[in-house]
Chains A and B, each alone.
Chain A
């Protein structure tokens, strides 16, 4: 019973962390072009960071 006192909050916190990570990714537009993202890893960028 005592272990539950910290195990349940820990489990919920980790779950919430994952959820908020997903919501952040969604809001920052990372899911807007899934097809494009899959192809972009094939592009060589000649060592120049993107503008």
Chain B
């Protein structure tokens, strides 16, 4: 069997970046003290998924010395560990032995979600009040008279007070905020309607009136809060899923003082001029210059270059690159806040133009809706005043108009569709960070793709394994297993580990390759000129070779594999009338090959991060709505500048944070799927708004003519809400159809090659 059968090596590739374990100093820096010498560390463990995982992790960690207890949270895929003492117990290693990758995450995101608990509490209070008031209202509707009715109204009024104060507070605050900044949102008519309905009902109750609308004002809040809570839960789930991915920026670094002592400092405390020790496998925290050592750097996240760069004494290195093979000592040339990574964040923030001005469709509708409704109510009041001169009657009818038009259906119309759509995308491994993201995605007409890491996987793969002598491949794999270099990993992953290692005294020569002895011969795996130039027989050998005593015995050819379904995804985008282009920091030759195999007609190579932003901004000026799909640090400003952005889960931290969508699976078909769902969601939202408006055109005349009783208001509002929810649920059917129509996850056989530098 060919070991490079499609899919076989993917599992091995997964640990590319995440296998860099956080050091114990880093863990200590990230832990927080609980007092009494006990500290707590929260780790993200994305692989946890069942009861057996929970038990294995909690038992294993509980057995460690100085660990007080461990608790797995399966919903957020985290484990929190309480431990004693100064030394960090080896829990990351223990998790690693069980087969779970663990990583630290930003402490700020570990905070409890206050908004969610407030929303759930509000729903509970509103639900309690709505249920009880409805119970009393039904008695009134079924004929309670006189003192009984007054008693019921008074009890209702009392129950409604805490509900309005607590549950309604969310809407009152939001409406007040909007008004104070001169804006209008959906919460303004809701707040006005609810509070006026309550005030009028109270007046009626005091004056022994027939009609009180306590049930309407509280059940309205209850329904709207349910929609808002679902919306929040969905978004929160996406956010924690995204935050649970590995954190790529270094949190701290080992500083070498002038007197030879070493100190682990947080990245923020590193000043220009200090010397830093960077072990193989660590990320370089700040920009610097190499003062000792030679190594290979993985720059794929920073510059988009797919091949590791060899660096030596005196060369400058950028923060965010990954040190692959040899230990380095660098002198920091910039503080973290002036380093490449921070520079990218600044560029991104500066570029964030189109998004800030975007107004959601719900807000645009409410900007028109609220004045019309309030004007109608006012005109009704004026009309009845003129016709009858009875101000009490005119007031009652005007408020009934406000209650009946209170945008229950309209308030639910948008969030409920977004919740259903986000849920469908979540099930396909796509996270939606923001409700407006789907609206913006639905409008795009141009898609920009980054090359390395987005269209391709950014990981080399051995292509000529079948033509290499299996004995040679086994020796090469034994040697390669000792190195982190991507090419070594590709070789090691390809051959698997069959039997005992046969090689001895393996040493890695950063920038060149690996040397080992076996059976009295010296073997070298690495760069051609270093390992040996003389070929036995043939002369057509590539850049990476295996030599035995200086004679080439095997050569290895690597390629950067395309992401699964890349070609199909681009075809689907073209069919959806979206023009596809490629922007890359890589060379024109490398870009050309990928573009040709994928059928992309237009690409721009060798772009700097600011160049990508400029390109997108030029398109935006011409009226195009641009979608940016990218993963690197160098794409981050472009992700911010585009109308809408999508990043794969393997993207750099800041990139993932900047993107509106993050897809977790390897297949690029996530992009057309997200577009498809967004467009359908957009259509449903417009339908829902139309339903809400039709409902109003029927209900408002009845209200203006003074025929609305609390019973009619309750029935009309529930009916319109149910209609809107039912319409939103149709999205499920749509998407299922779309999934079965989409081509199955076939891996495209076409590949682009990577030439070793």
Residue ranges of A at the interface with B (Cβ–Cβ < 8 Å): 1, 4, 8, 11-12, 15-16, 18-19, 22-23, 26-27, 31-36, 39-43, 51
Chain A residue numbers with a CB within 8 Å of B132 are: 11-12, 15
- Identify which of residues 98-120 in chain B touch chain A, using a CB-to-CB cut-off of 8 Å: 117, 120
With an 8 A cutoff between CB atoms, is B12 at the interface?
no
Which residue from chain B places its CB closest to the CB of A18 in the assembled complex?
A: B128
Per CB-CB distance, the 9 closest pairs between chain A and chain B, nearest first, are A36-B74, A39-B51, A42-B51, A19-B128, A35-B75, A33-B73, A35-B74, A33-B75, A43-B55
Are A4 and B74 in contact, CB atoms less than 8 angstroms apart?
no
Task: Give Cα A34–Cα B147 distance, bound, in whole angstroms.
Answer: 47
Q: What are 30 A-B contacts with C-beta separation under 8 Å?
A: A1-B147, A1-B148, A4-B151, A8-B155, A11-B135, A12-B132, A12-B155, A12-B159, A15-B128, A15-B132, A16-B128, A18-B128, A19-B125, A23-B124, A26-B117, A26-B121, A27-B117, A32-B73, A33-B74, A33-B75, A33-B76, A34-B75, A36-B54, A36-B74, A36-B75, A39-B50, A39-B54, A40-B51, A43-B55, A51-B68
A22 / chain B contacts, CB cutoff of 8 Å: 124
Contacting A at CB under 8 A, from B148-169, are: 148, 151, 155, 159
Closest to B53 in A: A39
Kindly list chain B residues whose C-beta atoms are within 8 Å of the C-beta of A11: 132, 135
Q: Which residues of A contact B89 (CB under 8 A)?
A: none
Chain A neighbourhood of B120, CB < 8 A? 26, 31
Closest to B155 in A: A8
| A40 and B54 form a contact (CB under 8 A) | yes
Is A43 touching B128 in the complex (CB atoms < 8 A)? no
The verdict on B241 contacting chain A, using a C-beta distance below 8 Å, is no
Tell me, in angstroms, the Cα distance from A17 to B19 when the chains sit together: 51
Q: Is B72 in contact with chain A by the CB < 8 A criterion?
A: yes
The answer to whether the Cβ of B496 comes within 8 Å of any Cβ in the partner chain is no
Whole-angstrom CA separation of A26 from B124 in the bound complex: 10
- Pick the contact of A23 from B55, B72, B121 — CB < 8 Å? B121
B131 within 8 A of A: yes
Number of A-B contacts (CB under 8 A): 54
Distance, CA A34 to CA B236, complexed state (A): 15
Most A CB contacts (10 A, CB to CB) among B50, B72, B75, B147 go to B75
Roughly how many angstroms separate A33 CA and B54 CA in the complex, as a whole number? 12
Does residue B69 face the partner (Cβ distance < 8 Å to A)?
Answer: yes
* CA–CA, A31 and B155, complex, Å: 32
- Determine whether the beta carbon of A43 is less than 8 Å from that of B148: no
Alpha-carbon separation in the docked complex, A19 to B131 (Å): 12
Please give, as numbers and ranges, the residues of chain B lying within 8 Å of A4 by CB-CB distance: 148, 151
Q: Are B121 and A36 in contact (CB under 8 A)?
A: no
A36 to B155, CA, bound (A): 41
CA distance A24 to B752 in the complex (A): 59
Main secondary structure of the interface of B (DSSP, over half): helix
**A1 to B120, alpha carbons, bound, how many Å?**
36
Given the complex, which residues of A lie within 8 Å of B68, measured CB to CB? 51
- Nearest CB of chain A from residue B682's CB, rounded to whole Å: 31
| Residue with the highest number of chain B CB atoms closer than 10 Å, among A8, A39, A41 | A39
Please measure, in the bound complex, the distance between the C-alpha atom of A39 and the C-alpha atom of B132, giving whole angstroms.
Answer: 35
Contacts of A39 in B (CB 8 A): 50-51, 54, 74
Q: Let me know if B131 and A43 touch, CB within 8 A.
A: no
The distance in angstroms between the C-alpha atoms of A18 and B129, with both chains bound, is: 12
A19 lies within 8 A of B124 (CB): yes
Supplied contacts A4-B151, A40-B54, 9 more A-B pairs, CB within 8 Å: A1-B147, A11-B132, A26-B117, A27-B117, A32-B73, A35-B75, A39-B74, A43-B54, A51-B68
A43 to B50, CA, bound (A): 10
Report B-chain residues with C-beta under 8 Å of the C-beta of A32.
73, 75
Between A1, A12, A18, the greatest number of chain B beta carbons within 10 A of the residue's beta carbon is seen for A12
Task: Give Cα A15–Cα B136 distance, bound, in whole angstroms.
Answer: 14
List A contacts of B72 (CB < 8 A).
36
Specify which of B51, B121, B151 is in contact with A43 (CB 8 Å cutoff). B51
CA distance A1 to B131 in the complex (A): 21
Give the chain A neighbours of B69 by CB distance below 8 A.
Answer: 51
CB-CB nearest in chain A for B73: A33
Q: Which residue of B lies closest to A41 (CB)?
A: B51
Q: Which chain A residues lie closer than 8 Å to B125 at the CB level? A: 19
B72, closest chain A residue (CB): A36
Chain A proximity of B245: nearest CB distance (Å): 18
Bound-state CA distance A27–B151 (Å) is: 34
Bound-state CA distance A51–B18 (Å) is: 32
Q: Which residues of B contact A31 (CB under 8 A)?
A: 120
User: Could you tell me the distance between the alpha carbons of A5 and B306 in the complex, rounded to whole angstroms?
Assistant: 79
CB under 8 Å from chain A, chain B span 254-274: none
Contacts of B151 in A (CB 8 A): 4
Residue of B nearest to A39 (CB): B51
Q: Which residues of A contact B135 (CB under 8 A)?
A: 11
State in angstroms the CA–CA spacing of A22 and B121 once bound together: 9
CA distance A36 to B69 in the complex (A): 17
Of B73, B131, B147, B159, the contact of A36 (CB 8 Å cutoff): B73
Give CA–CA (A34, B73) in the complex, Å: 9
Chain B neighbourhood of A33, CB < 8 A: 73-76
Complex-state Cα separation, A8 to B158, whole angstroms: 13
Minimal beta-carbon separation of A2 from chain B (angstroms)? 11
The answer for the CA separation of A39 and B50 in the assembled complex, in Å, is 6
Chain A residues with CB below 8 A from B54, complex form: 36, 39-40, 43
CB distance from B56 to the nearest CB of A (A): 10
**C-alpha spacing A11/B128, complex, angstroms:** 11
Inter-chain CA distance A9–B73, complex, in Å, is 40
Q: Which chain B positions have C-beta within 8 A of A23?
A: 121, 124
Who on chain A is nearest to B132 by CB?
A15
Q: How far is the CA of A27 from the CA of B116 in the complex (A)?
A: 12
How far in angstroms is the closest Cβ of chain A from B132? 6
A49 to B121, CA, bound (A): 31
Please report the C-alpha to C-alpha distance between residue A18 and residue B151 in the assembled complex, in whole angstroms.
24
Interface string of B44-86 (1 = CB under 8 A from A): 0000001100110000000000001100111110000000000
Q: For B131, what are the chain A residues with a Cβ–Cβ distance below 8 Å?
A: 15
Contacts of B128 in A (CB 8 A): 15-16, 18-19
Q: Nearest chain A CB to B165's CB is how many angstroms away?
A: 15
B44 nearest CB across to chain A (Å) = 14
Cα A16 to Cα B76 with chains together (Å): 31
CA distance A27 to B114 in the complex (A): 11
Complex: A42 Cα to B54 Cα, angstroms: 10
Q: Which residues of B contact A51 (CB under 8 A)?
A: 68-69
CA distance A27 to B112 in the complex (A): 11
Contacts of A36 in B (CB 8 A): 54, 72-75
A22 to B151, CA, bound (A): 28
Contact with A along B482-498 (1 / 0, CB 8 A): 00000000000000000
Chain A minimum-CB-distance residue to B135: A11
Most chain B CB inside 10 Å of its own CB: which residue of A4, A27, A36, A42: A36
The interface residues of chain A lying within 8 Å CB-to-CB of B75 are: 32-36
**Bound state CA distance, A6 and B51, in angstroms?**
48
* Closest A residue to B131 using CB positions: A15
Question: Shortest distance in angstroms between A41's beta carbon and chain B's nearest beta carbon?
Answer: 8
**What chain B residues lie within 8 Å of A16 (beta carbons)?**
128
Contacts of B74 in A (CB 8 A): 33, 35-36, 39
- Distance between Cα atoms of A27 and B121 in the complex (Å): 10
Minimum distance in angstroms from B234 CB to a CB of chain A: 15
Q: Which residue of B lies closest to A51 (CB)?
A: B69
- Write out the residue numbers on chain B whose beta carbons fall within 8 Å of the beta carbon of A43: 51, 54-55
